[in-house]
Structure 1
Amino acid sequence: MLPKPIEILPQQPPFLFVDEYLELDENHCLAKYTFKQNEWFFKGHFPGNPIVPGVVLIEAMAQTGVSIGIFRVSQKEKVPMEKVKEISLSVFVRIGEVEFLGMVKPEETVFISSRIKFYRFNKFETEGEIYKMVEGQKKIVCAHQSIVGQGLKLPRV
């Protein structure tokens, strides 16, 4: 059974953009998120025609990448995934080649897929995409070639 994202990710509402893991292992993560009508950013982006900001989509992809890192740290340190956020924190280092191919509106569910391209010395690079299902077809709305994160050890308290 997969953990709940709210239990393992350091990000918490209102900045948590992963509702559920569908798949999670040391090399990839597939998750989903439904953007609720009352999300805080819809008030200003854009009034009367709300659209999920691109930076929020990037953050959702980063959170699935961090989920893979948490899985790996859990395996290496032999601690439950829920405890990893007490010993390590992942931060952005670089983002490259992100392409937005469609819009996401309130109440739409997206699927976020990330795959590890590189993982060494607590630094990792992912690639992936966000898609939604439209009339039974997968429609990619955002794709990235590179999001790089760095795992930082937290001091033991």
Structure 2
Amino acid sequence: MIYNSNQIQDIIPHRYPFLLVDRIEQMDETTITGIKCVTANEMTFMGHFPEKHVMPGVLIVEALAQTGAVLLLSKEENKGKIAYFAGINKMRFKRQVIPGDVLELKVEFTNSRAGIYFANVQAKVEGNIVATGEILCGLGD
């Protein structure tokens, strides 16, 4: 493990109930892998859906974005900044994510232009792909 949840909170500004990455397991200059442990006691499941818990796809995308933000904001030149969504492309969802699942969140930054960072993202549960796509983000103060 590279970062635990307390260390992640030192890097990105998100807090409960919207901190959606629990630990970082791998990180290099362009790629990062995080983990989100999905539990039934999360506020999301009070309304989505109370009788059949399913993690919303937008929260899976947010978890991927937060994982990518950890990589960008852990770089010395970006410390103290905030990562903002700039776009989501070709996002596809392959299966539902439910309490008890452990999401593996992989983000690979592929390019940057005019202050916008492009990343291929993939979420898996037990080695099976649950979501893939591309996210774009920008950094601000």
Same fold (TM > 0.5): yes
**Equivalent residue for 2:121?**
128
Contact kept in structure 1, 2:48 and 2:54, CA below 8 Å:
yes
Match of 1:6 in 2: 9
Give me the TM-score of the superposition, normalised by structure 1.
0.82
Superposed, 1:8-157 pairs within 5 Å as 8-72=11-75, 74=76, 76=77, 84=79, 87-133=80-126, 138-144=127-133, 146-152=134-140, 154=141
RMSD of the TM alignment (CA)?
Answer: 1.5
With the length of structure 2 as denominator, give the TM-score of the two structures. 0.90
**Unpaired segments ≥5 residues, structure 2:** none
Amino acid of the residue matched to residue 62 of structure 2? Answer: E
Q: Deviations over 1:52-86 (max 9, x none)?
A: 000000101111111121133x2x36xxxxxx2xx
The letter for the 2-side match of 1:60 is: A
C-alpha displacement at 1:120, in angstroms?
Answer: 4.4
Q: Tell me the distance in 1 between the aligned counterparts of 2:121 and 2:107.
A: 4
- 1:25 is displaced (CA, Å) by 2.1
Q: Secondary structure of 2:63's partner?
A: helix
What CA distance in whole angstroms lies between the structure 2 residues aligned with 1:16 and 1:121? 28
Paired residues, number: 138
What is the CA deviation profile of residues 116-137 of structure 1, one whole-angstrom value per residue up to 9, with x for unaligned ones?
011345321111200011xxxx
Identical residues among aligned pairs (%): 25
* Segments ≥4 residues shifted beyond 3 Å: none
SS in 1 for 2:74: helix
Question: Highest CA radius of gyration, 1 or 2?
Answer: 1
1:25–1:71 Cα contact (<8 Å) kept: no
